[in-house]
A and B are shown apart, each in its own frame.
Chain A
Amino acid sequence: MESSLLLSITTFAYLLCMAFYLVGVVFRTDRMLLAGSITAFGTLVIQAIGILLRWWESYRIGYGHAPLSNLYESLVFAAWSIMLLYVILEFRSKQRVLGVFPSLFAFLAMAYASFSDQIDSKIQPLVPALKSNWLIAHVVTCFLGYAAFAVSCGISILYLLKKNQMSDSNEKGILIYLPSSRQLDEFNYQMIFFGFLWLSLGIITGSVWANSAWGTYWSWDPKETWSLITWLIYAALLHARTMKGWRGTRVAWLSLLGFVCVLFTYFGVNFLLSGLHSYAVK
């Protein structure tokens, strides 16, 4: 069994998972939602095995490093962490209907990683700059943050759709199955705070690492700067919510803005701006 096979299965399984959730929500079928949950959990396990197997394979060909070293591996890990956080949220909140967007994001990340010509899925050796124990700590913390923001973005979209539909006073709308606006808002806040905590950890581990590799903990490299911009946006959101009592729609829009920053930090900086994180391009 090879990791690439498991990861291909994962790609399609997330698509299937998204389909189950979508059908479940639209036609209000509990069975479909349950199928979505089972698929989500199963795929998460398969993908975890795939990632571990890739780790082992990298030792077998003599490179020996955690599968977190380039764009392909980070996308796979991003998909995995989004679904991990979502499954935990689903388990804790007992709400199955929020799964459409997380599974869509996970599928898109996997599909982009697998099918883009620009992305090399081969296991590559580590360049000297990445040879550090900080690699795992930095990438894992950053991506848990990104994943929480992705789930929050999904919840925000649902919130805005629901608000929009409720104002049309269409009582028979397909989104009736969703949890109440108040619940959505609370889940959203918790995800954002969780993401903020991990993004802070990610920036700080990166900063400590940069200090031991390049001699400076902050050099205004585009990637660093964009992660700070993202941090500032979410900090503004948290302040507005706690101190000004912002709720619902405004928080949802800010969360979307924050996620756009996350996407730019992740992809935009790689492709449009040059800097110290250049190994993340391929």
Chain B
Amino acid sequence: MQQNKGLWQQIYQTFASLKLSIFIFLTLAVASVIGTLLPQGLMEQDLEQHFSPTATWWIATFGLHDLYRTGWFRFLLLLLCLNLIVCTIQRLPKAIKLLRYRDDHVDPEKLTKFAHHKHFSTKLGWEQTKDVLARVIAKEFGTTTELQNEGLYSAIAEKGRWSTLIVYVVHFSVLIVLLGALIGSLFGFKGFMNISEGEATAGVVLSSADRILNLPFQVRCDAFEASFYETGAPKDFRSDLTIIEDGREVLQRTIRVNDPLTYKGITFYQSSYGSSVRNAEVEFQDVDSGKTYKLVLPYRQAIPIPGTTDRVQAMQYQQDMAQFGPALALVLFREGQEPSGSWILVDMPKFHGNRIQNYQVKVDHVEQSRYTGLQVKRDPGVWIVWFGFVAMLAGIGLTFYTSHRKLWIWAEPAGEEREWGKVVIAGRTNKNPLAFEQDFNHLCERLQEELKQKDQRE
């Protein structure tokens, strides 16, 4: 039992140690370096094409091709959280105790052991000495709290007492940000949807799993427009969207890059665009009978050729096939035979290859429609992350601009055997010692001057 307790104590101490913090910082840094040097998001089966078998084994074993989502990387983040929590549990109560602690006396012997301390002697009267001390220190440093006023004088002056707690705000903010990220990944989703102009859809293809999520409303793309500068660089991408809920149009808005639309907690971002074939007008001439059939083929849907048992389907479309211009891939389904097909060159109707079985084929027109590519996201954790960011910035900023500075003052009136009164002053800071040294020296000079001036006036 005793040994057990020792072990737990040891583990606890490890989690509270600075060594672990620095180890986690550096390990996270090194892991992140690997993650940026190796291409991320490759499929496991594609790894062998890029790397030697040994390298592939290492990458696959440690998941280096998808490093930021691996268990061990998340374990490091968890370790960081535990480290922060244990450090806080261990140190915060002490810090609060120290904050609550008030000195009840000042020991002049101890003051002389401070790095910053100074002795003065004064011929001023006792009341005047006390007056000068309180006044000059209040002006240069801050108000003093007197501990003892009869016979001897001792006082404390303090600034930025609360600054010792700010570091916990920074540490806590890291936990808040990670909590927000966790909530986002548990209760949110990320995906995309491609919507052709004029069409509406509710399906979102999720990026984490090959699954389609159906939204409780539909999004219609009324129009998509891409504009370009004279240089050819893209200028603007915009989609006019309409939200349709229960068959009613409830919201109409234009989105752009950097200007998304949020509806019921789900945000739609302009992310990509493209074009797809809607239908093709095609002429089939039966070379045996000389008969010509004019058909409108909806994209990827088989249509019968009237008066025959044949069916045809437009399968693929290419804007420019091998520099011969646009081409449409058609497939012919004939009963009792394997399907047969060919690429039909749109701009070259006389090309001898524009033929499937006994049909000479001519494409009269291909109607295309543009689609807009939307990134779709729901993230209930994002506000927690924002809150964490604000806390972090406030914390780091305050840590930079505040410090805990403390002065101890002790004075003794002239006694019967001595004609001079004695003053000892000491100071301490937890940050920026150089600036404090300057301020402390300046304060001491002022005190010395004041004590002398009064002296001369008397």
Contacts and interface: CB of A to CB of B under 8 A. Distances in A.
Interface string B418-458: 00000000000000111000000000000000000000000
B223 interface: no
Given A197-B396, A220-B68, A228-B32, A215 B26 contact: no
A193 B400 contact: yes
B233 interface: yes
A222 B399 CA distance: 29
Interface residues of B, number: 48
A214 B237 CA distance: 13
Given A204-B392, A207-B389, A229-B32, A186 B434 contact: yes
Interface string A196-239: 11001100100110011111111010100110110011011001
A122 B25 CA distance: 41
Contacts of B433: 186
A226 B36 contact: yes
Interface of A is mostly: helix
A144 B18 CA distance: 29
Contacts of A201: 393
Contact of B382 (A182, A217, A228): A217
A250 B179 CA distance: 34
Interface stretch (B129-137, B252-260, B305-313): B252-260
Given A125-B229, A232-B28, A222 B36 contact: yes
Interface stretch (A1-9, A101-109, A127-135): A127-135
Given A225-B32, A228-B32, A239 B22 contact: yes
Contact of A220 (B35, B267, B432): B35
Nearest to A226: B36
B37 interface: yes
B264 to A, nearest CB: 16
> Which residue, A124, A131, A196, has most C-beta atoms of chain B within 10 A?
A131
Given A215-B377, A216-B190, A125 B258 contact: no
Nearest to B389: A204
Given A214-B269, A225-B36, A236-B22, A197 B397 contact: yes
Nearest to A190: B432
B258 A232 contact: no
A239 B21 contact: yes
A131 B257 contact: yes
Contacts, number: 109
Given A197-B400, A225-B32, A239-B22, A220 B40 contact: yes
User: Which 7 interchain pairs have the tightest Cβ spacing?
Assistant: A128-B257, A236-B25, A215-B377, A132-B258, A215-B269, A222-B36, A215-B375
Interface of A: 124-125, 127-129, 131-132, 134, 182-183, 186, 190, 193-194, 196-197, 200-201, 204, 207-208, 211-218, 220, 222, 225-226, 228-229, 232-233, 235-236, 239-240, 243-244, 269, 273
28 contacts: A124-B231, A124-B233, A127-B235, A128-B234, A128-B256, A129-B257, A131-B256, A183-B434, A193-B399, A196-B396, A197-B396, A197-B400, A207-B389, A212-B259, A213-B257, A214-B271, A215-B260, A215-B271, A218-B181, A225-B36, A226-B36, A228-B32, A229-B32, A236-B22, A239-B25, A243-B18, A244-B18, A273-B37
Given A129-B257, A217-B382, 9 more contacts: A128-B256, A129-B258, A131-B256, A131-B258, A214-B269, A215-B269, A229-B29, A232-B32, A273-B37
Interface of B: 18, 21-22, 25-26, 28-29, 32-33, 35-37, 40, 68, 181, 190, 229, 231, 233-237, 256-260, 267, 269-271, 375-377, 382, 385-386, 389, 392-393, 396-397, 399-400, 432-434
